């Protein structure tokens, strides 16, 4: 039995259940089938051990003509929607287009049940360009080592850093770029990655403007932080951000009234005479914490 390379690719795409695929991923799929020399026991017409860009273009044209894939409606032409699979969520699409981004901030808070707010926009965190490029180089190195010479015929094989559109699948998108990527977890039965709950608490103090504002952040800390406090403290302790440590130290010790040796150690990051603020989006106020040397420049909800 013999089949065309496009048939093998189309069947493989269906089996992955992946509703969106990038040019890079398609190239790897073609290379893997070429390396195997067959597909599920069937030989492939005129298969080259080292497929070229011409082979890739032919396969894509055939997949398009057969209505198996189309250019994704929200991303550039080198991102493809797999037609016979269910319409993906905006989060799935974004996480498939960028292998390093994840759902974060208010969107992650809603997912973890930390807020009663339902955000209109989907907030994503992705690596800043320099970090993204380093991660992409590491991914490419691993993939090339895995496939051996099967990718030699492709020119400029690389992951592409796509700019995110303002709207994906009719949902507004907010993108936060960072030099320090946090912890994320994969959502069950989807392709979405979401900030770990401990990371979500850390993000609240680093960028409260993406999390409903500092007053809302304090409400969330009051209502939920005690359930995750050990993980939160560990996550913040590893973070290279004295400002987040000072904000967290104030909340944990003075509002939640928790005495923790790690948190006490963060007092060394307090700066007398500085202009640090609990809420980075509001002006300095003359009310402050003497221990943490931070301006309490926002409305603080009542803590038990």
Would you give per-residue pLDDT tens digits along the chain (304 residues)? 888 888 999 999 988 889 999 999 998 998 888 888 888 888 888 777 778 888 888 888 999 998 999 999 999 888 999 987 788 999 999 999 999 999 999 999 999 999 999 999 999 999 999 999 999 999 999 998 888 777 888 877 889 999 999 999 999 999 999 999 999 999 988 999 999 999 999 999 999 999 999 999 999 999 999 999 999 999 999 999 999 999 999 999 999 999 999 999 999 999 887 779 999 999 999 999 999 999 999 999 999 7
Q: Are 54 and 179 within one domain?
A: yes
Domain-located, residue 27: yes
Q: Are 134 and 58 within one domain?
A: yes
Contact 22, 94 (CB under 8 A): no
Q: Are 187 and 135 within one domain?
A: yes
Domain-located, residue 186: yes
Q: How many CB atoms lie within 10 A of CB 62?
A: 17
Domain boundary among 141, 164, 194: 194
Domain-located, residue 118: yes
Q: Are 170 and 280 within one domain?
A: no
How far is Cα 131 from Cα 134, in angstroms, rounded to an integer? 5
Contact 185, 136 (CB under 8 A): no
Q: DSSP for the chain, please give it.
A: -EE-HHHHHHHHHHHHT-SEEEHHHHHHHHHHHHHHSEETTEEETT--SS--HHHHHHHHHHHHHTTSEEE-SSS-TTEEEETTSPPPPHHHHHHHHSTT-EE-HHHHHHHTT--S---SSEEEEEE-HHHHHHHHHHHHHHHHHHHGGGGTTSSS-----PPPPSEETTEEEEEEEESS---EEEPTTSS-EEE-HHHHHHHHHH-GGGTT-HHHHHHHHHHHGGGGHHHHHHHHHHSS-HHHHHHHHHIIIIIS----HHHHHGGGG--TT---BSSTTS---S-EETTTTEE--S--PPP-
Domain-located, residue 208: no
Domain boundary among 165, 194, 223: 194
Q: State the residue range of the domain holding 274.
A: 213-295
Q: Are 157 and 271 within one domain?
A: no
Domain-located, residue 204: no
Domain-located, residue 179: yes
Q: Are 16 and 96 within one domain?
A: yes
Q: How many CA atoms lie within 13 A of 251 on its CB side?
A: 32
Q: Are 155 and 23 within one domain?
A: yes
Domain-located, residue 146: yes
How far is Cα 153 from Cα 124, in angstroms, rounded to an integer? 35
Q: Which residues contact 80 (CB under 8 A, 6 or more apart)?
A: 20, 21, 22, 23, 26, 60, 63, 69, 70, 71, 72
Give the number of domains in the chain: 2
Backbone angles phi, psi at 103, to 5 degrees: -70, 135
Domain-located, residue 47: yes
Q: What is the pLDDT of residue 50?
A: 78
Q: Are 75 and 180 within one domain?
A: yes
Q: What is the pLDDT of residue 62?
A: 92
Q: Are 190 and 236 within one domain?
A: no
| pTM listed for this prediction | 0.93
Q: Are 184 and 60 within one domain?
A: yes
Q: Are 8 and 150 within one domain?
A: yes
Domain boundary among 194, 222, 240: 194
Q: What is the dihedral of CA 93, 97, 102, 105, to 10 degrees?
A: -70
Q: Are 182 and 226 within one domain?
A: no
């Amino acid at each position: 039995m013999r089949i065309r390379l496009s048939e093998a690719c189309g069947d493989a795409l269906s089996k992955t259940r992946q509703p969106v695929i990038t040019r890079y991923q398609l190239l790897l799929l073609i290379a893997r089938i070429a390396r195997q020399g067959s597909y599920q026991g069937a030989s492939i017409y005129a298969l080259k051990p080292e497929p070229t860009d011409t082979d890739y273009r032919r396969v894509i044209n055939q997949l398009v003509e057969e209505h198996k894939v189309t250019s994704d409606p929200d991303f550039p032409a080198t991102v493809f929607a797999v037609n016979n699979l269910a319409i993906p969520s905006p989060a799935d699409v974004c996480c498939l287009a960028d292998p390093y981004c994840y759902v974060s901030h208010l969107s992650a808070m809603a997912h973890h049940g930390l807020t009663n707010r339902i955000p209109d926009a989907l907030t994503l965190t992705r690596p800043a360009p320099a970090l993204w490029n380093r991660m992409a180089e590491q991914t490419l190195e691993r993939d090339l080592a895995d496939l051996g010479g099967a990718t030699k015929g492709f020119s400029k094989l690389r992951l592409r850093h796509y700019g995110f559109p303002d709207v994906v699948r009719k949902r507004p998108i907010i993108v936060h770029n960072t030099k320090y990527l946090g912890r994320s977890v994969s959502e069950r039965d989807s392709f979405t990655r979401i900030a770990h709950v401990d990371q979500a608490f850390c993000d609240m103090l680093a960028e409260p403007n993406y999390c409903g504002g500092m007053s809302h952040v304090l409400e969330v800390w009051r209502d939920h932080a005690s359930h995750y406090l050990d993980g939160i403290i560990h996550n913040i302790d590893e973070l290279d951000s004295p400002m987040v440590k000072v904000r967290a130290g104030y909340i944990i010790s003075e509002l939640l009234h928790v005495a923790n040796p790690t948190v006490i150690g963060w007092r060394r990051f307090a700066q007398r005479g500085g202009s640090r603020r609990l809420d980075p989006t509001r002006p300095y106020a003359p009310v402050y914490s003497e221990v943490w040397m931070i301006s309490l420049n926002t409305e603080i909800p009542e803590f038990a």
